[in-house]
Amino acid sequence: MSTITFSVFPPAEALRRDIECIRLAVHTGTAALTTKVCPNGLPGIVFQMGEGGSAISSIST
């Protein structure tokens, strides 16, 4: 079984004009997963960091 934990952080003062928040998702499983992002009219960026293989198989809106 895999789990995803989320944490939300405020941006640094210098970035607050352009960034609403930083959301960190940590996946502790080994199976690939699909990450769904919720567009709110603001641009977003998804970064993936992992050891070995790819954890995210696809990103959808």
pLDDT of residue 14: 94
pLDDT of residue 57: 64
Tokens 């993936």 belong to residue: 48
pLDDT per position in the chain (61 positions), as tens? Answer: 567 888 999 999 998 998 888 888 887 777 777 766 666 666 677 777 666 655 566 666 5
Domain residues of the chain, as ranges? 4-60
SS3 13: helix
C-beta of residue 40 within 8 angstroms of C-beta of residue 55:
no
Question: Which residues share a beta bridge with 32?
Answer: none
- The encoded tokens of residue 33 equal 């997963």
C-beta of residue 47 within 8 angstroms of C-beta of residue 55:
no
